[in-house]
């Protein structure tokens, strides 16, 4: 368990911020890193060639450590939709084959598959919500026609969890690829790619990852690292750091998943901010973050249950992100009550989504409870 970390975050004392699934709270160190990078690029005569490469590789290394010490599998991307597009471009579906997704899945993990099926054939299989949880429903949907299972680690609306290891076993059993959108879990919940054995995992960098909006992470399994990138960038080529030889065109890519890096990956401000964020997360330890947030959400679930609100059963929900519902729906004037109390959270469908982080205090929780009464 981690102690109170509120002092590290730029969250005013009069704000109870439970919206980390929307934007992660801003670390002061991340703001400082961004400002320093702005100052650097404001003096371009000081920007050396190494600035295009060294911070990128530092970020690749720290993100790779969070994926299980596999920095060679990391590509820097601009968004989840970019990462899913990479996966779709390097996997085969075809007529008679299917892509399995979840009902109400975030659209960034839907549209690329719809477009690919429109071009090449195949069908989407949408798994409905089940009282038994997502995992059993997904397993029931996987069959000999399944080509790809493209799902989140937990559902973005209410944090309901998917057992990726079991799904991975089932997918491999029918020769299907597993693609994971980990945006609502990466860096807040341990993800062991060695156990799950996915083909691709993509995440944004600005939610639980605490970094920059516009810079995300794609992990690529070793068997796909020789695949086709979406772009043919210059910085991903061998010896690209020699600016005197850039017109000595080279077809060979840098090793690992670097070929999949988005153009202008050096994004000086974004990389600096994300480096600061991932260093802090590494210092805390993802397991410690998960344990601390799990204690916080368990306390919230217990207290709101006394008021008639309910969450999914403990064995179906993630520890960091919860959705609560009330049999009578949302109280009248709920949005106004939130605003007047200084409580920030999101409503997704009929679910009140509560996403605390390490800045969350007992006073924040008390203010939340008062709004829910």
303-355 pLDDT, tens digit each: 999 999 999 999 999 999 999 999 999 988 898 999 999 999 999 888 999 99
Locate the DSSP E strands across 112-268. Answer: 123-127, 146-152, 177-181, 200-203, 216-220
Count of all residues that appear for the chain in the document: 373
User: How does pLDDT run across 258-269, given as a tens digit for each residue?
Assistant: 999 999 999 999
For the domain made up of 6-18+285-372, give the CATH fold.
3.90.1150
CATH 3.90.1150.10 domain span(s) along the chain:
6-18+285-372
Burial of 139 (0-12, 13-18, 19+ CB in 10 A): middle
Radius of gyration (C-alpha) of the chain in whole angstroms: 21
Percent of the chain with pLDDT over 70: 100
Could you count the other beta carbons within 10 Å of the beta carbon of residue 149?
A: 30
- Round to whole Å and give the CA distance between 142 and 346: 32
pLDDT at 315: 93
Confidence (pTM): 0.96
The segment(s) of the chain belonging to CATH 3.40.640.10 are 39-283
C-alpha 239 chain-centroid distance? 31
Dihedral (C-alpha) 325, 331, 335, 338: value to the nearest 10 degrees?
-80
| Whether CATH 3.30.70.2860 fits 39-283 | no
């Amino acid at each position: 368990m981690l102690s109170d970390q509120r002092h590290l975050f730029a969250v005013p004392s009069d704000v109870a911020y439970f919206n980390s699934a929307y934007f992660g709270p801003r670390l002061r160190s991340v703001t400082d890193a961004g400002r320093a990078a702005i100052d650097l690029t404001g003096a371009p005569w000081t920007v050396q060639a190494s600035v295009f490469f060294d911070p990128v590789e530092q970020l690749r290394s720290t993100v790779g450590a969070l994926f299980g010490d596999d920095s060679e599998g990391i590509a820097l991307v601009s968004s989840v939709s970019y990462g899913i597009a990479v996966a779709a471009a390097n996997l085969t579906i075809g007529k008679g084959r299917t892509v399995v997704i979840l009902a109400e899945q975030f659209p960034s993990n839907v549209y690329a598959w719809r477009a690919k099926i429109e071009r090449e054939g195949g069908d989407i299989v949408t798994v409905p919500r089940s009282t038994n949880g997502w995992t059993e429903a997904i397993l029931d949907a996987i069959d000999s026609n399944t080509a790809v299972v493209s799902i989140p680690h937990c559902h973005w609306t209410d944090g309901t969890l998917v057992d990726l290891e079991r799904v991975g076993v089932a997918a491999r059993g029918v020769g299907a690829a597993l693609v994971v959108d980990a945006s609502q879990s990466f860096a807040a919940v341990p993800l062991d790619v060695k156990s799950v054995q996915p083909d691709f995992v993509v995440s944004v960098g600005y939610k639980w990852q605490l970094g920059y909006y516009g810079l995300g992470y794609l992990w690529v399994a070793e068997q796909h690292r020789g695949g086709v990138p979406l772009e043919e960038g210059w910085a991903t080529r061998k010896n690209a750091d020699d600016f005197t030889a850039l017109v000595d065109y080279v077809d060979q890519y840098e090793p690992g998943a670097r070929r999949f890096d988005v153009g202008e990956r050096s994004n000086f401000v974004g990389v600096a901010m994300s480096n600061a964020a991932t260093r802090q997360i590494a210092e805390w330890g993802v397991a410690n973050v998960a344990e601390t947030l799990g204690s916080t959400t368990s306390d919230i679930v217990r207290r709101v249950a006394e008021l008639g609100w309910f969450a999914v059963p403990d064995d179906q929900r993630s520890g960091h992100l919860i959705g609560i519902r009330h049999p009578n729906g949302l109280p009248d004037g709920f949005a106004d009550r939130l605003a007047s109390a200084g409580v920030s959270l999101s409503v997704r469908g009929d679910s009140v989504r509560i996403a605390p982080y390490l800045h969350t205090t007992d006073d924040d929780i008390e203010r939340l409870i008062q709004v829910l009464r």
